[in-house]
Copies of this chain bind each other. A is one copy, B any other.
């Protein structure tokens, strides 16, 4: 079975129209979410399901599209309303395609706000919808200002406590869309690099040894640049090798070529990777060289990294996703 842990829900335009309405009437309580029929949602998802069929993905975990997370919006109540609505749509979409989609929730985060609203929404989504994990945005600010606390900061501890209590993982995935010199697609990579270093140079995994975090996009820059952090470990007389520390985390395979995936598997081990493509997303364009979409990673993992064993591939495609997200199907 092929399980893609990194997918984002396809939102029909009515949902984005609601976002635009919320945006135009910030905090105005007479703007309610749109009525969308099951038929409409089912029809709208045909394209997405067709893409999964086209690349041989059996099941995809779908979470809010980070690009639309809107975390820095004020007042914060708007973020709460918007996140709740998107989570509702995810739950309904999963219910319509129970064999193809599994729900992962978004959290109404905001730099400078306590995590209360995030924890409340997390609890609601687990109780009402049985979501198997959540996105965690390490940078819920507008263009990096105010600077959010790194994921190693105790600010996040109430969330980590709750995640451990419920045995729930997060997919660390930046969502900030307003970094003036960076496209959001590059900003994601930089934020994921910051997240890894912040986590692994903190006491988070001493305090929460059972915490399960998947780093999006194959860990940003860190698998490629690992040795400079290894050297800092020696300099700081930290006896644990950085490479060992990296294995406290999980990584998706959302790196769109064989060279990158080969490096990722070599550095962190295929036993710490879970198949993830973000299809449809940044990689959903046809590579003129291969003739396939960039995010069609199954044949890359199956054919272009010859040192992987069948067991390695089965772990990446199925067993690691099942283990991380406690999947029951």
Residue ranges of A at the interface with B (Cβ–Cβ < 8 Å): 143-145, 147-150, 180-183, 185-186, 189-190, 193-194, 197-198, 201, 217-218, 220-221, 223-232, 234-235, 241, 255-257, 259-260, 262-263, 266-267, 282-288, 294-295
Q: State whether B181 touches A186 (Cβ < 8 A).
A: no
Q: State whether B181 touches A198 (Cβ < 8 A).
A: yes
Nearest to A195 among chain B residues (CB) is: B181
**C-alpha spacing A229/B223, complex, angstroms:** 18
Contact of A180 among B147, B201, B224, B226 (CB under 8 A): B147
Question: In the complex, what's the smallest C-beta–C-beta distance from A281 to chain B, in angstroms?
Answer: 9
Question: In the complex, what's the smallest C-beta–C-beta distance from A59 to chain B, in angstroms?
Answer: 24
* Residues of chain B with a CB closer than 8 A to A286's CB: 234
* Residues of chain B with a CB closer than 8 A to A220's CB: 221, 225
**C-alpha spacing A201/B182, complex, angstroms:** 11
Which of A143, A198, A263 has most B Cβ within 10 Å?
A263
Contact of A221 among B181, B193, B294, B295 (CB under 8 A): B193
One complex includes copies of this chain to the number of 2
* Residues of chain B with a CB closer than 8 A to A282's CB: 228, 231-232
**C-alpha spacing A34/B147, complex, angstroms:** 38
Question: In the complex, what's the smallest C-beta–C-beta distance from A136 to chain B, in angstroms?
Answer: 15
Q: State whether A193 touches B190 (Cβ < 8 A).
A: yes
**C-alpha spacing A284/B198, complex, angstroms:** 22
Contact of A217 among B190, B225, B231, B284 (CB under 8 A): B225
Contact of A287 among B145, B231, B284, B294 (CB under 8 A): B231
Q: State whether A256 touches B228 (Cβ < 8 A).
A: yes
Contact of A147 among B181, B201, B263 (CB under 8 A): B181
Q: State whether B224 touches A285 (Cβ < 8 A).
A: no
**C-alpha spacing A40/B218, complex, angstroms:** 49
**9 A-B contacts, Cβ less than 8 Å apart?**
A145-B145, A147-B180, A148-B181, A150-B181, A189-B228, A190-B193, A224-B260, A225-B255, A235-B285
**C-alpha spacing A294/B194, complex, angstroms:** 22
Q: State whether A259 touches B255 (Cβ < 8 A).
A: no
Q: State whether B231 touches A283 (Cβ < 8 A).
A: yes
**C-alpha spacing A201/B234, complex, angstroms:** 38
* Residues of chain B with a CB closer than 8 A to A194's CB: 181-182, 186, 190
* Residues of chain B with a CB closer than 8 A to A287's CB: 227, 230-231, 234
Question: In the complex, what's the smallest C-beta–C-beta distance from A175 to chain B, in angstroms?
Answer: 16
Question: In the complex, what's the smallest C-beta–C-beta distance from A149 to chain B, in angstroms?
Answer: 8
Contact of A266 among B180, B227, B259, B267 (CB under 8 A): B259
Nearest to A283 among chain B residues (CB) is: B231
Q: State whether B189 touches A225 (Cβ < 8 A).
A: yes
* Residues of chain B with a CB closer than 8 A to A201's CB: 183
Q: State whether B223 touches A224 (Cβ < 8 A).
A: yes
Q: State whether B231 touches A285 (Cβ < 8 A).
A: yes
With A217-B225, A294-B228 in contact, is A267–B259 under 8 Å at CB? Answer: yes
**C-alpha spacing A322/B130, complex, angstroms:** 62
